[in-house]
């Protein structure tokens, strides 16, 4: 995965799809890991997209909070709360992709103030594009998300299944339908789920780098 800032990657991805692949009609988008976050942002920010199916393999769709092996290698002496303080600086938001979807439920105010990507596409930081982001997401015809407890990288792994830590107890993972992002329908997830267009599959026994080998 590229560690470049995600807004930079989203822009490059849209250019690649339109200019290099010459895709102008309906298309299916399949992605692994961080690619799923890019695909989600692509759909929300591309007003003319015709994404029919959005399939993700172990993607941190609702955020990441956990020091996995690659973060231990990059930041060996820092604990998760210290990483939050670092990742929510403008410097890291501008250069490091993981910081863009790092969501510390224990530091929610710091997250909404400092995060320039996930908080924006979640419409937790409401911009003038918020209504369009939601409308664009709701145009996806079918969402299929795979994740599992043995992934070892996505934390919590249920982020790959469109849920996250509880708004009321950040030590517990909530059901998708109990999240405030869902009940308030901030970016259209409830709309699609109630229409039967969101399908999640919780599959044990697959490590993070093995999903695309299955």
151 is catalytic: yes
33 is catalytic: yes
DSSP the chain: ---S-HHHHHHHHHHIIIIIS---S-EEEEEETHHHHHHHHHHHH-TT--EEEEEEES--TT-B-S--HHHHHHSTT--HHHHHHHHTSHHHHTT-HHHHTB--GGGHHHHHHH-SSHHHHTTSS--TTHHHHHHHHTT--EEEEEE-TT-SSSSSGGGGGT--B-SS-TTSBPPGGGSHHHHTTSSSHHHHHHTT-EEEEE-SS--GGGGGG-
Catalytic residue among 11, 33, 178, 202: 33
19 is catalytic: no
Catalytic residues: 33, 151, 208
């Amino acid at each position: 995965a590229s560690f470049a800032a995600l807004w930079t990657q989203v822009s490059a991805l849209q250019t690649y799809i339109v200019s290099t692949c010459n895709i102008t009609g309906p298309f299916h988008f399949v992605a692994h890991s961080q690619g799923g976050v890019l695909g989600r942002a692509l759909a929300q920010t591309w007003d003319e997209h015709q994404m029919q199916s959005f399939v993700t393999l172990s993607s941190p769709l609702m955020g990441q909070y956990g020091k996995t092996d690659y973060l231990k290698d990059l930041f060996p002496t820092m604990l998760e709360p210290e990483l939050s303080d670092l990742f929510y600086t403008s410097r890291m938001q501008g250069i490091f992709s993981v910081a863009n979807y790092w969501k510390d439920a224990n530091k929610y105010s710091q997250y909404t103030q400092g995060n320039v990507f996930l908080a924006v596409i979640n419409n937790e930081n409401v911009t003038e594009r918020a209504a369009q982001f939601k409308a664009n997401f709701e145009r996806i015809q079918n969402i299929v998300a795979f994740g599992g407890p043995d992934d070892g990288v996505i934390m919590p792994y249920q982020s790959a299944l469109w849920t996250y830590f509880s708004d009321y107890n950040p030590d517990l993972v909530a059901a998708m339908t109990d999240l405030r992002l869902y009940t308030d329908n901030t970016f259209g997830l409830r709309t699609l789920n109630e229409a039967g267009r969101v399908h999640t599959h919780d599959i044990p026994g697959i490590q993070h780098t093995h999903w695309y080998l299955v």
